Amino acid sequence: MSASVTDLLAANPLFGELASSELAALASAAEKHEFGRDVTIFAMQQPADGLYVLVSGRVKVCVSTSGGKEIILATLGPGQFVGEMALLDNEPRSASVVTQLPTTAYRIRRAEFERLLEAYPAIARKLLRELSLRLRRANAQMESLVTLDVIGRLARFFIDLARQHGQMLGNGWVAVRRPTHQDIAASVGTSRETVTRLITELETRGLVVNEGKMSYLREEALVEEGL
């Protein structure tokens, strides 16, 4: 049996403390959207219309340089939300959000979100904690760009991917749906060709196994290797 909208929102850490009546009201106001792969949910500089709560799939948060090069800032999946920054500062979208996998999300419009923030300070506190966590991840990503070589950044990318979106299989292996080599390159600051070559190197060393669209990772081994 599929979960109701109310159950899906109640399972999200941002809304878990709402009263049943508030959850029901929020569920009735939430708008379900289903997106295919490689679909832009919203684009950088667009006006903000709401917050999106992800219930399935995976999205990338990305920006483009003046030369047209894409840089991926983060990937987000089920149980997370996106689009909150522009609602908080009343500025246009600071980044684009594009699906990496078919994705289902519920949109909560600006007026409803602002009402919840005023009525429930706990939501604002949880929102701040999540923003702090994302800032720490962004800082770690910037540090890796400066201090690690390309294969180190690639290994760090796979470690983070496993921790955020992976499924534990036992014996130290984690399964995760692999992004395209182009998306990986945009995350670690290199070319697609270099990513392809270095993934082969990681496979040769027994740290990563690729089968179809899935990657199987030995997270602890990647960490122990000092990558």
pLDDT tens for each residue of 28-84: 889 999 999 999 999 999 999 899 999 999 999 999 888 888 999 999 999 889 998
Question: CA 150, CA 2: separation in Å to the nearest integer?
Answer: 42
Statement: residue 1 has pLDDT above 60: no
Assess whether 22 and 127 both reside in one domain.
yes
Statement: residue 167 has pLDDT above 60: yes
- Domain tally, the chain: 2
pLDDT tens for each residue of 108-139: 999 888 888 888 888 888 888 888 888 888 88
pLDDT value of position 121: 83
Assess whether 199 and 111 both reside in one domain.
no
Query: What range defines the domain where residue 15 resides?
Result: 5-145
Looking at residue 56, its amino acid is: S
Assess whether 168 and 107 both reside in one domain.
no
Residues whose CB falls within 8 Å of the CB of residue 165, separated by 6 or more in sequence, listed in order: 58, 75, 77, 176, 177
Looking at residue 68, its amino acid is: G
Report the pLDDT averaged over residues 216-225.
79
Report the pLDDT averaged over residues 149-155.
90
* Chosen domain end from 145, 175, 199: 145
Assess whether 56 and 135 both reside in one domain.
yes
Neighbours of 139 (CB within 10 A): 10
pLDDT value of position 180: 94
Type and span of the H or E element at 115: helix 110-119
The two tokens of residue 4 are: 């109701």
pLDDT tens for each residue of 183-206: 999 999 999 999 999 999 999 998
When the pLDDT of each residue in the chain is averaged and rounded to a whole number, the result is 88
Assess whether 20 and 129 both reside in one domain.
yes
Report the side by side order of strands in the sheet with 173-177. 167-170, 173-177, 214-218, 208-211
Angle between helices 110-119 and 20-29 (to 10 degrees): 170
Report the side by side order of strands in the sheet with 103-109. 31-35, 103-109, 50-56, 81-82
Question: CA 108, CA 27: separation in Å to the nearest integer?
Answer: 9
